[in-house]
C-alpha cells in the first residue's frame, strides 16, 4: 500500500475493482417471472429443497449457479421473497433482464407487508439499497442512496470496532478519550449540543415516508435501527446520558 494513500492508484484502481464485481450473469433458457406476474400466487408458493440442486437438463450458466446459491437461504420461504433476492442479485450488475427494475419496484409497491414479514434484516437492507439505482421516483433513489451510504459505513465502522474487544452495546468510558484530531479537519462532536446523529437520520426518515412504495421498508429499517442496542447511535446516547448524570452530581 502506498504510504500516502489508503487506496493505491486512487479512483481508477477503485473503479477497476468495483467493475470486476459487476459482470452480468449469463442466461440461457432461465428467465425471471414476467413484469405482470401474479405476485399474490408467489406469496403462497414455497421454495422447495430441489431449488438448491442442479436439475436434469438445466443450463450450466453463472445465473443457474447463483440462483441455486440464493435458494439455500429461502427453502421453506415464499417464492416472492426468493424472487426479491434474485432481482437484487441481478440489479447489482452492469446489466440485467430489461424488466427486472420494474418488477422489483412492483414487489415493494404491492407486497411490502409480505416481504417485511419473510425477509430478514440483511435482505431488507439490500432491498432498500437497490432503490438507489432502480427506484422509479426521485425520492426512492435519494432515500436508497442515503441508506446505502448509512448502512455501508455502519458495517465498516461496527466491524472495525469489534477489534476493540468491547461488546457492541457497551459504550466507551468517558475518561479514556484519546487526545487526537478527527480526520479531514472535522470539528469534534459535542455530547451537550451535538446533533449530527439526528441530522443524519431525521431528513432521510422523513423523506422516505412521503413515498408509498419505499415508506414501509424504510420506516421498518429505521425503527429496527432505533431499537438495536449495539449501534454507534445507542452508544452515543448512553454516553450522553452518563455525561449528563455526572454533571448533575457535581451541582
Report yes or no: 64 and 31 within 8 Å, Cβ to Cβ.
no
pLDDT at 28 over 90: no
Please state the φ and ψ torsions of residue 17, each to the nearest 5 degrees.
-65, -40
* Nearest C-alpha neighbor of 72 from the set 50, 100, 57: 50
- Which one is predicted more confidently, 226 or 55? 226
pLDDT at 104 over 90: yes
What pLDDT score does 2 carry?
A: 57
What pLDDT score does 164 carry?
A: 92
Report yes or no: 147 and 205 within 8 Å, Cβ to Cβ.
no
pLDDT at 183 over 80: yes
What pLDDT score does 30 carry?
A: 74
Residues 6+ positions from 147 with CB-CB distance below 8 Å: 125, 128, 129, 131, 132, 204, 218, 221
- What does pLDDT average to over the chain? 93
Least confident of 69-78, 122-131, 170-179: 170-179
| pLDDT average, residue stretch 181-198 | 88
pLDDT at 57 over 90: no
pTM, rounded to two decimals:
0.91
Q: How far apart are CA 218 and CA 211, in angstroms?
A: 10
Report yes or no: 24 and 95 within 8 Å, Cβ to Cβ.
yes
Report yes or no: 240 and 179 within 8 Å, Cβ to Cβ.
no
| pLDDT average, residue stretch 135-145 | 98
Amino acid at each position: 500500500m502506498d504510504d500516502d494513500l489508503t487506496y493505491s492508484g486512487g479512483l481508477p484502481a477503485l473503479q477497476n475493482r468495483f467493475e470486476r464485481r459487476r459482470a452480468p450473469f449469463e442466461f440461457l433458457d432461465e428467465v425471471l417471472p414476467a413484469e405482470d406476474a401474479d405476485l399474490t400466487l408467489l406469496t403462497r408458493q414455497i421454495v422447495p429443497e430441489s431449488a438448491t440442486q442442479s436439475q436434469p437438463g438445466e443450463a450450466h450458466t453463472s445465473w443457474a449457479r447463483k440462483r441455486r446459491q440464493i435458494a439455500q437461504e429461502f427453502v421453506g420461504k415464499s417464492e416472492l421473497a426468493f424472487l426479491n433476492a434474485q432481482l437484487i442479485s441481478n440489479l447489482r450488475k452492469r446489466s440485467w433482464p430489461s424488466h427486472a427494475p420494474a418488477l422489483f419496484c412492483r414487489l415493494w409497491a404491492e407486497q411490502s407487508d409480505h416481504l417485511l414479514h419473510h425477509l430478514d434484516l440483511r435482505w431488507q437492507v439490500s432491498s432498500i439499497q437497490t432503490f438507489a439505482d432502480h427506484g422509479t421516483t426521485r425520492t426512492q433513489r435519494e432515500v436508497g442512496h442515503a441508506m446505502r451510504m448509512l448502512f455501508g459505513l455502519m458495517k465498516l465502522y461496527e466491524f472495525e470496532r469489534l477489534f476493540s474487544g468491547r461488546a457492541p452495546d457497551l459504550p466507551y468510558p468517558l475518561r479514556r478519550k484519546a487526545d487526537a484530531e478527527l480526520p479531514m479537519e472535522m470539528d469534534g462532536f459535542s455530547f451537550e449540543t451535538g446533533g449530527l446523529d439526528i441530522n443524519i437520520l431525521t431528513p432521510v426518515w422523513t423523506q422516505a415516508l412521503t413515498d408509498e412504495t419505499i415508506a414501509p421498508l424504510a420506516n421498518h429499517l429505521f425503527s429496527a435501527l432505533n431499537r438495536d442496542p449495539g449501534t454507534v447511535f445507542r452508544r452515543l446516547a448512553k454516553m450522553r446520558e452518563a455525561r449528563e448524570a455526572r454533571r448533575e452530581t457535581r451541582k
